[in-house]
């Protein structure tokens, strides 16, 4: 028999971090802990307030229900938790962890053996022009060749000037620029803004208009001079048929997968298979998880053999994250297995 418990944990940001959903100072998360035959497994349920579809009042009640019913088995639980993707994500990790030789090696590979690394983008947070420029220079200095910039929080013309100044110093061969609008553009202005951005050799833009405007997004993807990546658009799309229909209707150039928000590893694999059948590109991004969730996402991502830079570099944002073998070196995420985990909740 498996025994299950859960624990809440508050992550504190080193610097208040600006997102399209305001300034974040803390991030709450939960850990599901499984025990069987003197072995333990751990998984992080990465709820993201204001963004996760399962940000609902009965969230902790659902975690209690999961712990009581843990012996129904993973497959049954995942079906019951269709509308709680972050709990699905935590459960998948916990069961993998319980069955693994070591608690934190969920997908043994050349990545966990420190033979290969995962290329990642450097994330530049929203803020004043000089603050953003300083971040960009720091990322370049530390070896990143792909930078993702959040846009849409300050004046568009100011952002364009900032991007132009980057392009004066660094060509598209030197650095790949991705931008993320988090749905900030109005649908009737979006195409003109994409035309302006395309002149700066931008790789892609994430979610230019708010999610839920399917026809408008489809038209934008058909006319855009710049590759569009769906992000928030995938949240709350649960069934295989709904996913298939969404991709067929919008036909984006890329999709971005956040396992915490779209049903964990099984949900992500479903999206990947559908995208690849339609020649739609994809990459995987973490969503402000602690190093527990980030570690799981990184190992899962490596197993899928994507060649694109992934969005897996958020582990250094918190003052009270858990020490782990994960290291960001020269624009890659690496697994330094000589470093030990410091996880004191189990």
| Catalytic site positions | 150, 258
The answer to whether the Cα torsion of 95, 99, 102, 106 is positive or negative is negative
Strand partners, 3: 35
Rounded-to-integer distance, Cα 60 and Cα 107, Å:
28
Rounded-to-integer distance, Cα 47 and Cα 90, Å:
10
Rounded-to-integer distance, Cα 122 and Cα 201, Å:
17
Rounded-to-integer distance, Cα 146 and Cα 159, Å:
18
Rounded-to-integer distance, Cα 153 and Cα 19, Å:
8
Question: At a CB cut-off of 8 Å and minimum separation 6, what does 16 contact?
Answer: 23, 24, 25
CB 87 within 8 A of CB 67: no
Residue 154, burial from CB neighbour count under 10 angstroms (0-12, 13-18, 19+): middle
CB 246 within 8 A of CB 233: yes
Rounded-to-integer distance, Cα 89 and Cα 267, Å:
9
């Amino acid at each position: 028999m498996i025994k299950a418990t859960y624990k809440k944990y508050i992550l504190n940001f080193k610097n208040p971090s600006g997102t399209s959903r305001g300034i974040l100072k803390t991030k709450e998360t939960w850990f599901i802990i499984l025990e069987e035959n003197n072995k333990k497994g751990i998984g992080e349920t990465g709820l993201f307030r204001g963004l996760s579809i399962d940000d609902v009042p009965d969230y902790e009640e659902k975690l209690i229900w999961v712990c009581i019913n843990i012996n129904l088995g993973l497959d049954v639980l995942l079906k019951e938790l269709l509308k709680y993707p972050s709990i699905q994500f935590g459960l998948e990790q916990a069961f993998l962890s319980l069955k693994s030789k070591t608690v934190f090696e969920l997908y043994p590979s050349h990545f966990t053996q420190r033979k290969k690394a995962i290329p990642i983008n450097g994330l530049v947070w929203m803020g004043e022009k000089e603050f953003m420029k300083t971040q960009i220079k720091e990322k370049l200095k530390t070896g990143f060749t792909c930078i993702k910039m959040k846009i849409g929080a300050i004046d568009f013309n100011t952002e364009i000037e900032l991007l132009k100044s980057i392009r004066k110093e660094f060509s598209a061969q030197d650095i790949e620029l991705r931008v993320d609008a988090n749905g900030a553009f109005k649908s009737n202005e979006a195409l003109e803004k994409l035309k302006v951005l395309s002149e700066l050799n931008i790789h892609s833009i994430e979610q230019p208009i708010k999610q839920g405007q399917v026809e408008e997004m489809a038209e934008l993807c058909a006319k855009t001079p710049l590759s569009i990546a769906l992000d928030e658009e995938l949240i709350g799309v649960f069934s295989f048929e709904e996913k298939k229909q969404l991709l067929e209707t919008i036909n984006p150039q890329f999709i971005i997968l956040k396992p915490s928000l779209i049903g964990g590893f099984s949900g992500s694999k479903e999206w990947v298979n559908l995208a690849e059948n339609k020649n739609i590109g994809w990459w995987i991004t973490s969503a402000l998880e602690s190093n527990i969730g980030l570690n799981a996402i990184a190992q899962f991502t490596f197993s899928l053999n994507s060649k694109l830079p992934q969005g897996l570099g958020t582990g250094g944002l918190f003052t009270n994250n858990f020490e782990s073998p994960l290291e960001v070196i020269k624009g890659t995420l690496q697994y330094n297995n000589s470093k030990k985990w410091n996880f004191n909740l189990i």
